[in-house]
Amino acid sequence: MPDPDFLRPELVCPAGTPAALRTAVDAGADAVYCGFQNATNARNFPGLNFTPAELEQAIGYAHAREAKVLLAVNTFPPAGRFDLWRDAIDVAARLGVDAVIVGDIGVADYAARTYPDLRLHLSVQAGASSPEAIRFYCQAFAVKRVVLPRILTVTEIAELHREIPCEIEAFIFGNIGMMAEGRCSLTNYATGLSTNMDGVCSPAADVRYEEDEDSTLTTKLGPFMIDRFACGENAGYPTICKGRYLCSSKPGGYYAFEEPVSLNLSALLPDLMRAGVTALKIEGRQRSRAYVKAVVSAFRKAVDDIMASHEPALANLLALTEGHKETQGAYRSKTWR
């Protein structure tokens, strides 16, 4: 650093509520992404998301401050319920969002045919993890940007960048799911609610915390024990892919998929920028305004420092990660796999 190859990347930040959106914009987000209050987006949680009227106001607020608003319509409409997703696209086009983030082929087809000028981003839910898959979506629906699954190394992202005709958006911070996005029915298997069709993962209504007489805390999703914590241990929210289980080779119990960790790529930011990543994405539409403010401000400063050839300071972000444990996930090395 400095590096003439650096393009100033767009900082894409989450907003679960109109207040969080204003907070993210004020903290320096270049773009904010959000969803409607229904199954059309992958964070369909109670108390979260926007009405069309709120979205209209939010777009006004963001545009007045030169920030973009991206709308996630990134779940998969089951046959018979397509109207809800069609309406979401119609409203997005009418209100002038800067892009719609889509995952379903049917939704993408509807948007591309009905609103050829509406900018489409391919959601991570589409699971496009190779140049061929991404090119398919670019050819079929004129997708302008792909949100990459969190399974590629930085080296692979750099190679991918040279082989695709669209921009790359990569996750840099927040929750890290272990399963390929858009291809996980674990929640539905345990609860009857689908991540793909209903936009939920480990819904709170099916989560239980049970404490026994020696203060051991058990977390459950539906009838299934996801983890158990001794008194004083930091108990995580029960998500199937971050639970502890038994198998024949691990009779004592182990994290079969992943430990409860969060993604933090702050140390890899310059590498990602050099790899050709156009947009850096922060996960967390379900998080508080205070969280959004802290994380967005920190990354705003970090990106600006890197652009100005200064060493970025990001050590304080660890306190905000899930269970205070962080990982660079797949991005650093193939041994993660």
At closest approach, how far in Å is the CB of 305 from other proteins?
31
**Phi-psi domain of 284 (left: phi exceeds 0; alpha: psi -120 through 50; beta: other):** left
At closest approach, how far in Å is the CB of 67 from other proteins?
31
Residue 172 vs 178, nearer CB to other proteins: 178
At closest approach, how far in Å is the CB of 132 from other proteins?
4
Residue 75 · residue 103 · CB < 8 Å: yes
Say whether 287 sits in a helix, a strand or coil: coil
Residue 257 vs 291, nearer CB to other proteins: 257
Please give the C-alpha separations between residue 63 and each of 21, 40, 95, 187, in angstroms, as whole numbers. Answer: 12, 24, 12, 37
Residue 46 vs 192, nearer CB to other proteins: 192
At closest approach, how far in Å is the CB of 337 from other proteins?
4
Residue 89 vs 320, nearer CB to other proteins: 89
Strand partners, 122: 102, 146
At closest approach, how far in Å is the CB of 77 from other proteins?
5
With a CB cutoff of 8 Å and minimum separation 6, the contacts of 70 are 12, 31, 32, 33, 34, 97, 98, 99, 100, 101, 121
Residue 181 · residue 187 · CB < 8 Å: no
Residue 180 vs 268, nearer CB to other proteins: 180
Residue 128 vs 306, nearer CB to other proteins: 128
At closest approach, how far in Å is the CB of 190 from other proteins?
6
Residue 112's Cβ-count burial label (10 Å; 0-12, 13-18, 19+) is middle
At closest approach, how far in Å is the CB of 141 from other proteins?
9
Residue 209 vs 336, nearer CB to other proteins: 336
Please give the C-alpha separations between residue 119 and each of 109, 195, 281, in angstroms, as whole numbers. Answer: 13, 25, 18
What's the rounded Cα separation, in Å, for the pair 239 and 84?
A: 28
Residue 316's Cβ-count burial label (10 Å; 0-12, 13-18, 19+) is exposed
Q: What is the DSSP string of 103-126?
A: --HHHHHHHHHH-TTS-EEE-GGG
